Amino acid sequence: MPQPLGSTAYDMSVHSARPYLGRDGVKARIEEVGVVPALRGASAEAALFAAESLAGAGIPILEISAAAMGAENVICELSGRVPDMIVGAGSVNNRVAARRCIDAGAKFVTTPAFLPEVMEIAAKENVAVVSGAFTPTEVLAARNSGSDLVRVFPCDAAGGARYIRSLKLALPDVPLIASGGVTQQTAFDIVAAGATAIGVGTELVPEDAIRLRQGRRIRELARRFLGYVDNGRIEAAGRGQVTFLK
């Protein structure tokens, strides 16, 4: 039985048999899929339902916010019960949180800002890291410090697709994940502007869809966002912009 949300007594043995993917493999999978769903404050059972629904639609990735109480328990449960799922930790703000989430089984860690101490731990443990950044200086610093991908956050506050396009013109070789305010109305344009992937929260996994166990609704939303990514990449390639094509 999973520990209740808020417990820190997670059982490390439950994810001991998970397949090894490695840092490069995780990075490649995120780039291929192009969508990183994010959950905050969900119980282990709720996260499991969301993960299975997303995987059923072709998104085997789920980011669990480390800012929520008991996040490491949720990460541990998912890593053990859905071993093919790439479970990551989001909003990792410090060295202690990074260590706890990695020990619980996180296959990637995402920071809200440029935090070298978190990147150092991830690199040591061969775990993929997605550093948060906002300005071009921060984006370049994160990339030069070893961030596998760079999370532009909050993307909507900077202008969304227009800002991503400007960043890619200046830094064409940096793989960007646009996060913050990404919706069905903006996803296509953001990817067409050159984003390698998009980070999406409740627009993809609505809280009421989890509460009501509406798996079909989540799968439909997942397919829509995958479609926006695929079509956006085709558009970007037609413009001669750097992106990722399957």
For 53-73, write each residue's pLDDT tens digit. Answer: 999 999 999 999 999 989 999
Domain assignment present for residue 9? The answer is no
Do the Cβ atoms of 153 and 132 come closer than 8 Å?
yes
Domain assignment present for residue 7? The answer is no
Tell me the per-residue pLDDT of 201-217, one tens digit each, with 9 for 90 and over.
999 999 999 999 999 99
Domain assignment present for residue 2? The answer is no
φ/ψ (deg, to 5) at 106: -60, 135
Domain assignment present for residue 107? The answer is yes
- Find the domain containing 31 and state its range: 21-236
| CATH code: domain of residue 124 | 3.20.20.70
φ/ψ (deg, to 5) at 102: -65, -40
- Using CA atoms of 152, 155, 160, 162 in order, give the dihedral in degrees to the nearest 10: -40
pLDDT of residue 20: 65
Query: Which residue ranges in the chain fall short of pLDDT 70?
Result: 1-20, 240-246
pLDDT of residue 8: 38
pLDDT of residue 19: 56
pLDDT of residue 10: 40
What does the block give as tokens for 58? 């072709």
Half-sphere exposure of 59 (CA within 13 A, CB side): 30
pLDDT of residue 21: 78
pTM of the model: 0.89
Distance (Å, rounded) from C-alpha 80 to C-alpha 78?
Answer: 5
- The domain tally of the chain equals 1
Domain assignment present for residue 3? The answer is no
